[in-house]
Amino acid sequence: MQTTTLFIGLTREVSFAGLPIMYLVLLICIVMLGFFFTGSFIYFIVMSSLGYTALRALAAYDPKIIDVFIATMKSTRMSPALLKGEGLVYRA
């Protein structure tokens, strides 16, 4: 296992303010869309702090979980029944 500073620096997840980039993008999207819809600075401040705390805890648990979710959604075919309102239908 490599423990040199260069190896660790090149393989570490890119982060900003302690959040991986995908987490940061998710936080910005949720907070800014909510702010545009509500127009409330209270919403902006509260959701920014709560969202940052929640995503920081999730990133400490697993920094790649959002990437795994996105890859799963890209590779899994959506059922046409789901779009018709029939829910998930599994057949053999």
- The reply to whether 10 falls in a domain is no
- Residue 92 above 80 pLDDT? no
Over the stretch 13-68, which tens digit does the pLDDT of each residue have?
788 888 888 899 999 999 999 999 999 999 999 999 999 999 999 988 988 888 88
pLDDT score, position 43: 93
* Sign of torsion over alpha carbons 65, 68, 31, 24: positive
pLDDT score, position 72: 86
- The reply to whether 7 falls in a domain is no
The whole-number average pLDDT for the span 4-10 is: 84
Query: In total, how many domains does the chain have?
Result: 1
- The reply to whether 36 falls in a domain is yes
| More confident: 63 or 90 | 63
How far is it, in rounded angstroms, from Cα 2 to Cα 53? 31
The whole-number average pLDDT for the span 65-74 is: 86
pLDDT score, position 65: 87
Confidence of residue 73 (pLDDT cuts 50, 70, 90): confident
Stretch (H or E) spanning 67: helix 65-75
| Domain around 51 | 15-83
